[in-house]
Amino acid sequence: EEETSPTKKLVSDHGEKVASHYNTLQEVGLVVRSQSRIFYMRNFNNWLKSVLIGEILDRVRGAGSRNVSVLDLGCGKGGDLLKWRRGGISHIVCADIAEVSVDQCRTRYEEMKRKSHSNEKIFSAQFIASDCSKEVLSERLDDPELMFDICSCQFVYHYSFESEQKADMMLRNACERLKPGGFFIGTTPDAYELVKRLEASDSLSFGNEVFKVSFQSKGSYPLFGCQYHFSLEGVVNVPEFLVYFPLFEHMAKRYNMRLVLKQRFSEFFEEKVKKENHRSLMMKMMALEPFPCEDGGQQATDNKEQYCHAEEH
């Protein structure tokens, strides 16, 4: 409860829109979701995040980290919890501006813990409702000394590019508690692609029957606050902002960060899908049929169901 009240004071106009949008999104069951035209796209995004998370955990462990601590910045309803569980991490801090989502994330974590086998040690967790583009997150940590091996910011960072102060605060929260050699990983829309498509369009928007991106003007694009609306079958429809990547990379240097890798989803896919383990994970995540697992039969279906549910965001 002490986690929720400061957020209210800190939420700005845009922050309020984001929070109330994500707060009012309904939790829908697997059946409804599987009928959605965006089901496969969501699964693809989840596959991509799973591979990214898995590989970064390998790198962190390869560098000698044993008890891995993670900050999930903009955790939403906890769609990545299962990925972190599979990765065998020790601790996670989940932060999001939308209080309802943070509550759902906590509930999902508690369910996960409750249903786990007694011989599996599930990571410890802290949940924080916070506008991470306005508030210094480290001041809210239960353990004031905590340092992270990884900060993961999935489909979130673009909301902060409303202003330099917000983008910088988000970056500060992502990086200031990283251990030396730690990683900041994330996914965000490609501003070049968005502008390219806008410029090619004869109106102020582009898209298809599934998604639509609309700008208020074109021709010039401010470094911060370059707003557009993104809608995906009505699922996400709050203003977002272009992230000019060279500027982002430059800003990150302030926090002693250097760019290790930047890839478009298509490039990432083409590279990773060549590996057998990544390809078979994709088959599992995309397929609607029960998939084989060690215990076989019904167990497989249950696992799949749980998998899809927990992976949803």
| Candidate list 74, 87, 182, 239; residue touching ligand SAM; CB under 6 A | 74
| Strand residues in the chain grouped as ranges (E) | 69-73, 91-96, 124-129, 148-154, 178-187, 205-207, 211-215, 227-232, 239-241
3-class DSSP state for residue 130?
coil
Distance of CA 200 to the CA centre of its chain: 29
The residue among 98 and 185 lying less far from ligand SAM, judged by its C-beta, is 98
Spatial distance between the Cα atoms of 279 and 47, rounded to a whole number of angstroms: 10
Q: Answer yes or no whether residue 133 interacts with ligand SAM by CB under 6 A.
A: yes
3-class DSSP state for residue 133?
coil
| Candidate list 109, 123, 127, 159; residue touching ligand SAM; CB under 6 A | 159
Count the residues of the shown chain that bind ligand SAM, applying the rule CB under 6 A.
21
User: In the range 3-32, which residues lie near ligand SAM by CB under 6 A?
Assistant: 15, 18, 22
Q: Which of 263, 198, 184, 271 is nearest to 228 (CA)?
A: 198
Q: What is the DSSP letter of 205?
A: E
| Candidate list 43, 101, 104, 188; residue touching ligand SAM; CB under 6 A | 101
| Candidate list 89, 128, 137, 156; residue touching ligand SAM; CB under 6 A | 156
The residue among 76 and 182 lying less far from ligand SAM, judged by its C-beta, is 76
| Candidate list 51, 60, 98, 178; residue touching ligand SAM; CB under 6 A | 98
The region of 51-59, 92-100, 192-200, 263-271 touching ligand SAM under the rule CB under 6 A is 92-100
CA dist list (Å): 300 to 47, 294, 297, 303: 19, 8, 5, 5
User: In the range 112-131, which residues lie near ligand SAM by CB under 6 A?
Assistant: 131
User: In the range 261-280, which residues lie near ligand SAM by CB under 6 A?
Assistant: none
| Candidate list 65, 71, 79, 174; residue touching ligand SAM; CB under 6 A | 79
- What lies within 8 Å, CB to CB, of 42 at 6+ separation is 33, 36, 312, 313
Q: Answer yes or no whether residue 33 interacts with ligand SAM by CB under 6 A.
A: no
Spatial distance between the Cα atoms of 92 and 90, rounded to a whole number of angstroms: 7
3-class DSSP state for residue 243?
coil
Q: Answer yes or no whether residue 43 interacts with ligand SAM by CB under 6 A.
A: no
The residue among 14 and 272 lying less far from ligand SAM, judged by its C-beta, is 14
Asked whether the beta carbons of 158 and 133 are under 8 A apart, the reply is: no
Q: Which residue has the tokens 């960060």?
A: 257
Q: How far is the CB of 220 from ligand SAM (least distance, A)?
A: 25
The residue among 24 and 203 lying less far from ligand SAM, judged by its C-beta, is 24
Q: Answer yes or no whether residue 313 interacts with ligand SAM by CB under 6 A.
A: yes
The region of 71-79, 82-90, 245-253, 258-266 touching ligand SAM under the rule CB under 6 A is 71-79
Identity of residue 25: L
Give the bridge partners for 240, in sequence order.
228
Q: How far is the CB of 219 from ligand SAM (least distance, A)?
A: 28
Residues of the shown chain interacting with ligand SAM in the complex, contacts defined by CB under 6 A: 15, 18, 22, 74-76, 79-80, 96-98, 101, 131-133, 154-156, 159-160, 313
